[in-house]
Chain A
C-alpha cells in the first residue's frame, strides 16, 4: 500500500450537526468517549501502511490541527511523506474565499503531483467504519476500473443514512448517483470513499478548472460516472454515518452493543487517537453504572445508564445520568439529573439541576458553560 496516498476532504455538510460543528469541522467532533470522527478513516489508512495522508480543511481548522499534531498518534510523523494539512488560501487582493472546494485542490496540485504514489484513496471523515483497504486496493487493480467507489447495501435503514448519496448499480458498474431522501427502503449508500489513479485524479481537477463546470470535487467525480469505467466495491461491515445530531447520537448509542464496538475498534486494526495520559477511571462505593461506555480519567459516584462518558468527566453522588453523551471534562454535580442530553466539552451542571431532551431529539448543550 506504499503506492497509495490518502486524501481526506473535510468539506462536509455541517448544517444538520448544528452546535456540535459550530466551532469545529465535522471531523473534529468528539465521539465514542475518546475519539474524534477523523480517527476512524485515518486509522484505516495507516493500518494498511498508507504513509502519505493529506487533509484538506475548509478553514475552522484549529481543533483538527491541535488534535492531529504531527501525526504521532497515527505513526504519521515521518521524514518521508507523513501527514499534511492544507487550509484553503484566500485571495489577499479581493479577500474572497472561493465557492466550493476544488480551488483548495488546485492550490495544492503541486503536492499531489510530486507525491511518489500512483493511486489516490479519496475519502471524507463522517462515515465511520473499520475497513480493510487492502481488499479495496486489490479489487480496484484486478477489475481494471478507472474509479472504484465504496458502498454498502442497506435495507430498512433509510433514517440512518438520510440525505446520503446512493449508487445505482448494474452488476459491478455504477450507472448513476442518486440520493436517499427517505422514500426508498433498499439502496446502496455511497460511503464517499473512492480509489483512482493519481494521474486521473489530477486530470479531473485540471479539467474542472479549464472547463469551469464544477466547483466541488464531488461534482467533478460524479461527472465521470457517465464517461469512464466506474465500479462499486461492496462493504458489508458496520457503517456509522454522522451527518446530523440524531445520527451522531444513534452511532454513539450503537457502540453500546459489544459486537458492534468490537468490530469498529478491532476488526482490521486498531483505531488510534491523540493520547491524553488520563489516569484510570475511579468508581466510588455509591457508583451504579450499567450499559455504558466510560473513558479514562473519570470519577463516577452517581448513577449512569446507557451513556457514553468521555475522558475526565466527574459525576457526583446521587446524580442520575441516562441516555446521554457526555464529552470531555464535564462536571455533573451531586443530585443533578440528565436524560437524552448531549453535553459538549467542559460543561458544569450544578447540583440538583434537571435537563431532559427527547429520545428522538436529544438536547445539545454548547461547550464551556455552567448551568
Chain B
C-alpha cells in the first residue's frame, strides 16, 4: 500500500519502566503517570506534536502498556485520528526470525524500520515520553534545515552542579556539536540533551543498520548512535531550548514539577489557548467547594468535592476532601477519597486510594515525599 509521503514523522519512546518512581510505576509505564491535575506525562509530547503540525507518530511501548494504550486510543484527544498517519502504537512483536524485547532506544527504532519506511519521510523526530515541556518542533525543524544539519539535538542549560546527571553536549561557536559526554564527572559545558532529536532519515537509517550489526553496542542513541556520528564528522547541531523542561524520573522531581505549577512565576503556561495540552476528559461536573471548604494556592479539577482545607496542592478529578481535614503541599491523584479530620502534608496519593478519617500523613521538610498507594 502506498502512502502519502510525509516530510517528518515522530517516534515517541514510551517503553520506560521508570523504576525510580517505584510504586507509581508498578502497574503503569512512566509516560502514563498522572501529572498536573488532569494530564499524563505523555500528553505533553503528544500535544507538542499535534500543535507543531506533526500528525504521524509511532509510540513505542514495552513496559506495562495497558493503561497507556487505553489512554492513547486512536489519538482523538490530540487530533491524531487521521485517515493517513495519526498515532500508531508500536509494541515489540514476533517475526519469522523470532521476536524479542527492544534492546535499547536505537534498537526500538530499528525494529520499526518498516513503519517509518512506509511514509518515506525526509526527517525523523525522536522523542521521549517522560518529560514535561512545551516545545514547537516545527521551529526546531526550520533550524535543522537552515543549519543543513544531518542531526539536530535539542539542549537545555542545566545548573552546573547537575551536569553529572545528563548527557552533556560540547559545542563550537556556531552551535555545532563537537563532543558528547554522557553524565560527565567534570563537565565542559552545561548544555544537556533533552532526548529530542531530528535526524535526516537517510543518515539515521545507515547508522541504525550499522549499530544493529555491532555486537558490543548498547543500541542506545546517547551511548552509540550520536558518538558514532560525531566520530565520522557528520554535521550535528545543538538547538537551545529556553522554556520549562523537567525530567520527572523520581518521586521527588514528580512532586516538585507539580508544585512548580502553583508558583506565580511558573513558566509552563497551561492556560495558553494557542498551545493547549490535550488529554482525555472525564465526564465529571465542575468541582464544588462547600461552605466549610477553603482552597488556596492550588489546582483543582472537575468532580472534586471539598469540605476541608486545601493549601498548595494539585488535585486530580474526583477527589473528595472531608470536613476538618487539612491537605497541604501534596499531589492527590484521580478518585482519591480523604475522610474527615485528616491531616496530609507533603504526600503523593495515588489513584483511587481511600484515606480513612482521623489519619495523619505528614512528610517532614527536606525528607522524602510520602508516596501512598493503599
Residues in A lying within 8 Å of B, measured CB to CB: 32-34, 72, 255-256, 258, 261, 265, 270-273, 275-277, 279-285, 287-297, 299, 308-310
Count A-B contacts at CB 8 Å. Answer: 104
Q: B277 on the interface (CB 8 Å rule)?
A: yes
Interface size class of B (residues with CB under 8 A): 35 or more
- Residue among A32, A287, A308 making CB contact with B296, cutoff 8 Å: A287
Q: Is the interface of B mostly helix, strand, loop or mixed?
A: loop
Given A281-B301, A283-B297, A283-B298, verify A271-B283 contact (CB < 8 Å). Answer: yes
Question: In the complex, what residue of chain A is closest to B273 when comparing beta carbons?
Answer: A312
Instruction: Please report the C-alpha to C-alpha distance between residue A272 and residue B284 in the assembled complex, in whole angstroms.
Output: 8
Give Cα distance in the complex from A291 to B294, angstroms. Answer: 10
Q: Which residue of A32, A276, A282 contacts B286 across the interface (Cβ within 8 Å)?
A: A32
Task: Tell me the nearest residue of chain B to A281, going by C-beta.
Answer: B300
Knowing A280-B36, A280-B314, the reply to whether A293 touches B286 (Cβ < 8 A) is yes
Question: What 4 additional pairs, Cβ within 8 angstroms, besides A283-B298, A292-B288, A309-B286?
Answer: A258-B290, A282-B271, A293-B288, A295-B287
What 1/0 mask marks residues of chain B from 247 to 282 whose CB sits below 8 Å from any chain A CB?
A: 000000000000000101000001100001111010
State in angstroms the CA–CA spacing of A291 and B291 once bound together: 4
- Which residues of B lie under 8 Å from residue A72 when comparing CB positions? 76
B299 surroundings in chain A (CB, below 8 A): 280-283
| The residue from A255, A287, A308, A309 contacting B295, defined by CB atoms under 8 A apart | A287
B6-63 residues at the A interface, CB under 8 angstroms: 36-38
Q: Are B281 and A277 in contact (CB under 8 A)?
A: yes
**Residue B302 at the chain A interface, CB threshold 8 Å:** yes
Please state if B296 and A296 are interface contacts (CB–CB under 8 Å): no
Cα A265 to Cα B317 with chains together (Å)? 14
Q: Which residues of B contact A (CB under 8 A)?
A: 36-38, 76-77, 262, 264, 270-271, 276-279, 281, 283-302, 305, 314-315
Residue from the set A273, A284, A291, A296 with the largest chain B CB neighbour count within 10 Å: A296
- Report the nearest B residue to A284, measured CB to CB: B297
Whether A258 and B288, one on each chain, are in contact in the complex, defined by CB atoms closer than 8 angstroms, is yes
Least CB distance, B320 to chain A, in whole angstroms: 10
Chain A: minimal CB distance from B133 (Å):
15
Q: Is the CB of B296 within 8 A of A279?
A: no
Q: Which of A32, A275, A279, A292 has the most CB of B within 10 A?
A: A279
In the complex, what residue of chain A is closest to B307 when comparing beta carbons?
A258
Q: What residues on B are CB-neighbors of A256 within 8 Å?
A: 288
Q: List 20 A-B contacts (CB under 8 A).
A: A33-B285, A33-B286, A256-B288, A258-B305, A276-B281, A280-B37, A280-B299, A280-B301, A280-B314, A281-B287, A281-B301, A282-B299, A285-B296, A287-B296, A289-B289, A289-B293, A290-B291, A290-B294, A293-B285, A299-B271
Residues of B within 8 A of A33 (CB): 285-286
Q: How far is the CA of A275 from the CA of B287 in the complex (A)?
A: 16
CA distance A212 to B28 in the complex (A): 65
A287: chain B residues within 8 A (beta carbon): 295-297
Q: How far is the CA of A95 from the CA of B280 in the complex (A)?
A: 46
Cα–Cα distance between A270 and B303 once the two chains are bound (Å): 12
- In the complex, what residues of A have CB within 8 A of residue B77's CB? 277
Given the known A-B contacts A271-B283, A295-B302, A296-B302, are A279 and B288 also in contact in the complex, defined by CB atoms under 8 Å? no
Closest to B271 in A: A279
